[in-house]
Amino acid sequence: MVKQTFLNLPKEKRERIIEIAIEEFASKPYTKASLSNIVNRAGIAKGSMYQYFEDKRALFRYLLELAAQEKLAFLKEAEVNSDVNFFETLEKVMLAGFRFNLAHPQLSRIVANAMEGTGEAVIQEFMMSGRKMACEYFMELLKRGQEGGEVSPDVNVRLTANLLNRILGEGLADYILEIMEVDLHEFLTKPEIAQNISEDTIKNIVNEAIRFLRNGLEAQS
């Protein structure tokens, strides 16, 4: 759906377009985001956008894929290794997600926008499949945790996977806004806010959340 034409573009131009598109889609819901705005700000012709992407949906989807890639990069960076310890793994996943949120608040916002309905079937399917994958990952993790004796055999794997998904995805994001005493718009437009949150703060939050989860899920010895 992205066209080769776009990928052939000089890196600088490509990135400027993406940056502006991200700003547009992060600052308003999908239907209000305007291609005209984007092309005007990017200084390119309206028609060019259609040489780069099949249509509005395709551009949006490209941004979502980009967000997914970027998040994956953070997970790689965190050296998540699902094979060892359940709670350790969970902590790493949380940390990675958290860091991604702070490093790319606008991309995170786009994902959130996409979650709650753009009115476009294609996008919805894409998000659903993403959510499914995430849930399956958590389910797999929980099952292994149960097999390894770390996670109580009593926990409902599917239910918990869903809760984890929501908690990790957005529960923590809400908390950030609250402790920073900032509203969403400020958070998105003033990058220094996100950047000034120290690694310590992040780790503390994650630790507390993990402790909470550990008690809730851990097998009683």
Partner DNA sequence: CATGAATGAGCATTCATTCAT
Partner DNA sequence: AATGAATGAATGCTCATTCAT
Q: Which residues of this protein are in contact with its own copies, per CB under 8 A?
A: 28-32, 112-113, 115-119, 124, 128, 131, 135, 154-156, 158-160, 162-163, 165-167, 170-172, 174-175, 178-179, 183-184, 205, 208-209, 211-218
CB of 79 to its own copies, least distance (A): 25
Residue 186's CB is within 10 A of a number of other CB atoms, namely 12
CB of 91 to its own copies, least distance (A): 15
CA distances from 64 to 22, 147, 155 (A): 10, 34, 32
Amino acid identity at 163: L
Residue 220 DSSP symbol: P
Q: Applying CB under 7 A, does 34 fall inside the site for DNA? A: yes
Residue among 21, 26, 27, 56 that touches DNA (CB under 7 A): 56
Partner whose binding site includes residue 110, from DNA, its own copies, none (CB under 5 to 8 Å by kind)? none
Applying CB under 7 A, what is the total number of residues that bind DNA? 24
Angstrom distance (rounded) from CA 131 to CA 115? 9
Angstrom distance (rounded) from CA 56 to CA 91? 37
Partner whose binding site includes residue 219, from DNA, its own copies, none (CB under 5 to 8 Å by kind)? none
Residue 176's CB is within 10 A of a number of other CB atoms, namely 20
Partner whose binding site includes residue 216, from DNA, its own copies, none (CB under 5 to 8 Å by kind)? its own copies
Q: Pick between residue 21 and residue 141 the one whose CB is nearest to DNA.
A: 21
Indicate left, alpha or beta for 206 from its phi (over 0: left) and psi (-120 to 50: alpha).
Answer: alpha
Q: Pick between residue 89 and residue 160 the one whose CB is nearest to its own copies.
A: 160
Residue whose C-alpha is closest to residue 51's, from 110, 8, 102, 11: 8
Q: Pick between residue 8 and residue 215 the one whose CB is nearest to DNA.
A: 8
Please report the DSSP string for 105-146 in residue order.
Answer: HHHHHHHHHHHT--S-HHHHHHHHHHHHHHHHHHHHHHHHHH
Q: Applying CB under 7 A, does 33 fall inside the site for DNA? A: yes
Partner whose binding site includes residue 203, from DNA, its own copies, none (CB under 5 to 8 Å by kind)? none
Binding site for DNA (CB under 7 A): 3-5, 8-9, 13, 32-37, 44-52, 55-57
